[in-house]
């Protein structure tokens, strides 16, 4: 290309003579221009208008020859340049139009591909929904067959369930796998129609089998990752600190240390809070449980930690369970305030006769605690009919597994341990056990409120709503968790489904 000597802007080589190689080599440049097709069009129009403005100047500067043939020559030269300009403008427009079409075609392909992907995702979601519905139908049908003692039909359904309820599948597949285990255990205990009674459970809640270590590990993982146990400790510590506002010595009777947490997480947090006070405080903790040696080791570690921050701590242990606890087992000192905490333990003494729980509540009332903190699963897993309990538990644990789905990756072994060695144990006890063997008798907070009132306790509102909402923010997927106040109680939920309810009572 070249510029004409008079300053006119035109190509000395006709545009139509550009070879295919030249066209391909400039494709990238033209495609960059086509990112803004409007700007490219304005450029072509501007070029054409500029050329037309310069054309009269070229015709005026031409001089005719003496014999009159110059006029024809000038006209011929003008027409030649005009034809060249028109050809150039037409060529540019054609070239840009071609690449514009290619650009639009590429866009159309991308849109079509996106539509196909979206359609496939929608189809996959529909398939997953259909599979989940089918799995739910199988679970309910199997539970009905087990309830009716139809061993042959239940066995067929269990075989199909085992093939579809995957331990590393969707959240509902995983929770279904736990219920399948419970149904299989219950079916193994089913006696023929006409048999009176129910067989002994395959596995009780407290066992000394080789997988005790796995269960302890799952419990500690659940404490660290999932908020429901820590929620109970948070409310309990808040109530203890409130009692400490008017006391220098507080004795905590912990009915939940048998729960199996050997590291004293709750007390570490409480000691740190007490250390912030200028007054020297004395904290005494008595735990009720079976592994007293574990408590003593924990107590020594807590004592050493507390001395370093200026807090006096004494940890004691009473070997036994709630049903066998007597007031004389608790060593109370004059001048100390008593606080009793029960975190996921009181439901274990709920029986069909209700006599055991009544005795425990009467014994607690006689101790005259300044505060009783009660933390329980907020669901009805103690109804009189098996199918009702089954459906309540399925709804409740589906929400828990859904929350774990949002907190941990699909193939995370920590999540599998929590689900299969912690929550699965609760599910299997609810589904497969009856009589004295069934200890996971969770009930609604309203039922506990009525029961505590009948025992003579008065509700003491928990006033840490703002702190609780701030506290839950430290957990992953915290946007799914909810904390609401309900008649003075704090309820932790997942997507509006109640999970754990905490309440405080006084004599």
- In this prediction the pTM is 0.73
Phi, then psi, of 253 in degrees rounded to 5: -95, 110
What was the pLDDT predicted at 27? 44
Q: Which DSSP letter does residue 284 get?
A: E
User: How are beta strands 337-343 and 371-377 bridged, if at all?
Assistant: parallel
- Looking up tokens 């449980």 gives 289
pLDDT at 497: 94
pLDDT for res 46: 45
For residue 505, what are the β-bridge partners? 372, 459
- Spell out where 142-281 has E strands: 249-254
List pLDDT tens digits, range 302-324.
Answer: 999 898 888 999 999 998 888 88
Q: What is the mean pLDDT of each run of 10 residues along the chain (507 residues)?
A: 40 40 44 43 43 43 44 48 56 65 67 62 58 92 95 95 91 95 93 50 48 87 92 94 90 80 85 83 89 85 89 90 89 93 94 86 94 96 93 96 90 92 96 93 95 95 91 85 93 94 95
Please give the Cα distance from 133 to 300 (Å, whole number). 53
Report the pLDDT value the prediction gives residue 14, as an integer from 0 to 100: 42
What are the tens digits of pLDDT across the range 435-460? 989 999 999 999 999 999 999 999 99
Q: Are 389 and 434 in contact (CB under 8 A)?
A: no
Ramachandran sector of residue 10 (left: φ over 0; alpha: ψ -120 to 50; beta: rest)? beta
pLDDT value, residue 122: 52
The burial of 32, by beta-carbon neighbours within 10 Å (0-12 exposed, 13-18 middle, 19 or more buried), is given as: exposed
Question: Which has the closest alpha carbon to 292: 253, 257, 252?
Answer: 257
**Which residues, in sequence order, are bridge partners of residue 286?**
253, 316
* Angstrom distance (rounded) from CA 406 to CA 403: 5
Going 362 to 364 to 368 to 372, the CA torsion angle's sign is: negative
Q: Give the C-alpha separation, 147 to 157, whole Å.
A: 13
**Spacing of C-alpha 486 from chain mean position:** 23
Pairing of β 481-486 and β 489-494: antiparallel
Phi-psi region of 373 (alpha: psi -120 to 50; beta: other; left: phi over 0): beta
| pLDDT tens string 205-245 | 444 556 788 888 999 999 999 999 999 999 999 999 999 98
Q: How far is CA 401 from the centre of its chain?
A: 8
CB 31 within 8 Å of CB 23: no
Determine the pLDDT at residue 140.
96
Question: Greatest CA separation found in the chain?
Answer: 141
Report the distance separating Cα 335 and Cα 282, nearest Å.
Answer: 11
The residue extents of the domains of the chain are: 15-60+74-116, 221-383+440-506
Whose tokens are 């505590």? That residue is 452
Task: Give the chain's radius of gyration (CA, Å).
Answer: 40
pLDDT of residue 94: 67
Query: What is residue 285's DSSP assignment?
Result: E
Cβ pair 492, 499 in contact under 8 A: yes
| Res 496: pLDDT | 85
**CATH architecture entry for 221-383+440-506:** 3-Layer(aba) Sandwich (3.40)
According to DSSP, residue 167 is labeled T
The answer to whether 215 touches 245, Cβ cutoff 8 Å, is no
Angle, CA of 292, 257 and 303, to the nearest 5°: 70
């Amino acid at each position: 290309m070249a510029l004409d000597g008079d300053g006119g802007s035109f190509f000395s080589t006709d545009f139509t003579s550009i070879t295919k190689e030249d066209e391909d080599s400039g494709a990238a440049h033209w495609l960059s221009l086509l990112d803004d097709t409007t700007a490219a069009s304005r450029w072509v129009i501007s070029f054409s208008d500029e050329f037309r403005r310069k054309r009269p100047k070229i015709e005026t500067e031409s001089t005719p020859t003496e014999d009159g043939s110059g006029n024809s020559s000038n006209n011929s030269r003008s027409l030649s340049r005009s034809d060249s300009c028109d050809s150039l403008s037409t060529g540019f427009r054609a070239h840009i139009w071609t690449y514009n079409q290619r650009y639009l075609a590429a866009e159309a392909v991308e849109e079509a591909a996106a539509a196909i992907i979206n359609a496939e995702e929608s189809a996959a979601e529909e398939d997953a929904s259909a599979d989940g519905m089918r799995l739910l139908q199988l679970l309910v049908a199997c539970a009905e067959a087990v309830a009716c003692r139809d061993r042959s039909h239940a066995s067929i359904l269990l075989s199909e369930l085992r093939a579809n309820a995957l331990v590393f599948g969707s959240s509902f597949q995983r929770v279904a796998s736990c219920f399948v285990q419970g149904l299989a255990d219950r079916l193994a205990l089913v006696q023929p129609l006409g048999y009176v009674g129910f067989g002994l459970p395959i596995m009780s809640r407290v066992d000394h089998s080789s997988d005790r270590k796995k269960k302890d590990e799952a419990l500690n993982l659940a404490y660290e990752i999932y908020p429901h146990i820590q929620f109970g400790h948070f409310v309990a510590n808040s109530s203890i600190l409130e009692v400490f506002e008017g006391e220098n010595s507080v004795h905590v009777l912990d009915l939940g240390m048998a729960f199996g947490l050997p590291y004293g997480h709750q007390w570490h947090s409480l000691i740190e809070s007490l250390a912030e006070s200028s007054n020297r405080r004395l904290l005494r903790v008595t735990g009720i449980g079976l592994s007293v040696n574990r408590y003593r080791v924990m107590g020594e570690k807590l004592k050493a930690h507390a001395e370093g921050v200026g807090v006096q701590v004494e940890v004691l242990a009473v070997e036994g369970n709630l049903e066998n606890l007597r007031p004389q087992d608790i060593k109370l000192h004059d001048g100390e305030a008593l606080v009793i905490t029960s975190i996921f333990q009181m439901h274990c003494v709920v029986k069909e006769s209700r006599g055991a729980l009544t005795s425990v509540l009467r014994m607690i009332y006689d101790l005259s605690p300044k505060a009783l903190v009660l933390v329980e699963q907020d669901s009805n897993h103690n109804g009189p009919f098996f199918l009702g309990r089954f459906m309540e538990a399925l709804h409740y644990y589906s929400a828990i597994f859904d929350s774990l789905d949002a907190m941990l990756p699909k193939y995370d072994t920590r999540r599998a341990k929590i689900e299969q060695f912690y929550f699965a144990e609760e599910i299997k006890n609810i589904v497969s056990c009856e009589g004295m063997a069934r200890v996971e008798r969770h009930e609604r907070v309203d039922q506990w409120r009525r029961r505590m009132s009948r025992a003579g306790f008065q509700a003491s509102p928990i006033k840490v709503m703002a702190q609780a909402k701030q506290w839950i923010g430290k957990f992953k997927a915290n946007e799914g968790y909810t904390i609401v106040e309900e008649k003075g109680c704090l309820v932790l939920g997942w997507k509006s489904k109640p999970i754990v309810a905490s309440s405080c009572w006084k004599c």
